Amino acid sequence: MSDHDSDRELPAAQKCGELCKEFSEITGANSAEAQMYLQQHDWNLEAAIAYYYEDRPSDSDEPSAKIRKSAATCEDPSRLSVLSWNLDGLDNVSLFTRTKAAIETLKKEDADVVFLQEVVHQSWQILQDDLSTLYHLIPASTSDPYFTAVLLKITTVFLDSKKVQPFFTSVMMRKLQILHVNVKGIDVKLMNTHLESTAAHSVERLRQLKICFDEIASTDPKYNVIFGGDLNLKANDMRSATIPKSVVDIWEMLGSKPETRYTWDTRYNTNKQMDGPGRPRCRFDRFYFRSSCTKNIVPYGFNLTGIEKIKNCSKFASDHWGIHSHFHIATE
């Protein structure tokens, strides 16, 4: 499905958020699960709840037992989740409030791995203060005015090695973070980046994208590779890009659901006021995946996060929605 295909009739982002919240309050599921079940049932709340209880039998019929089971999902040895989010740190407006809101969302989403882009020093200090007991926080470079970072959940992800590959021809200080980790007994290569921005720099952006895909192609086949971030890609870019045959776009692989297509969406996200006619909607933020030779990780879910406005504030946590991908780990 093209990023520019017409949308089918879907609830507005605010309504989706309200339905997810109501689903979570009733079932005890986290927001990622809520969004997945609702998507599967065309945002019909009653149908989604009914299927949730059919799909997830509990040892007890008490709601408290279901809530405890949901809370323990992050420690399930058969599940892995990776979240990516551009925090829009270069926008100083309400930065402290927006960063704190993003942190609360990250805690609620409870991903094993978090890719962050456009982190600035003020936000970095807040992230360290609030998340260091939950995550190992790894910046690409704190000497730059803004940078990417990877967060590894302390209880589930173990770092084997890390490196940063600069894009030497970038005029925006862009880099590729590469980490080899072990997640619940599985070898995974993580690649987080923020590719060159704006249409004027499409040639450089595509050069950087090729470097990333070449890095995946050269990876030992024993590794699963998860590559993502704010890739700033548009349809024109993709017509010129060559994606390795072994690599899949997770959003496309999982059905190209319209409600999770746009990650920079000025129709619903009002943080940026756009001049001129129209309200741009783009799928800038993406995950690509290459399976290992043993195919021991399989993507099964994809949802957006950060889609609710901050209480008592006119802003969202970022001008980007976060993307959260879920994987099943094959266990022996």
Q: Which residues are catalytic?
A: 230
Residues 6+ apart with CB under 8 A from 154: 133, 134, 135, 136
Which tokens go with 102? 């993003």
Q: How far is CA 11 from the centre of its chain?
A: 21
Strand ordering across the sheet containing 285-290: 157-166, 175-183, 186-194, 224-230, 285-290, 247-249
Residue 159: Cβ within 10 Å count: 14
Q: What three-state secondary structure class fits 95? A: helix
By CB atoms closer than 10 A (0-12, 13-18, 19+), residue 321 is: buried
Please enumerate, as own/partner, the contacts of 196-205 that have beta carbons within 8 Å and a separation of 24 or more: 196/167, 196/170, 196/171, 196/172, 196/232, 197/172, 197/232, 198/232, 199/234, 199/236, 201/171, 201/172, 202/234, 202/236, 202/237, 204/167, 204/169, 204/170, 204/171, 205/231, 205/232, 205/233, 205/237
Q: How far apart are CA 58 and CA 75, in angstroms?
A: 17
Instruction: Indicate the DSSP class of residue 152.
Output: E
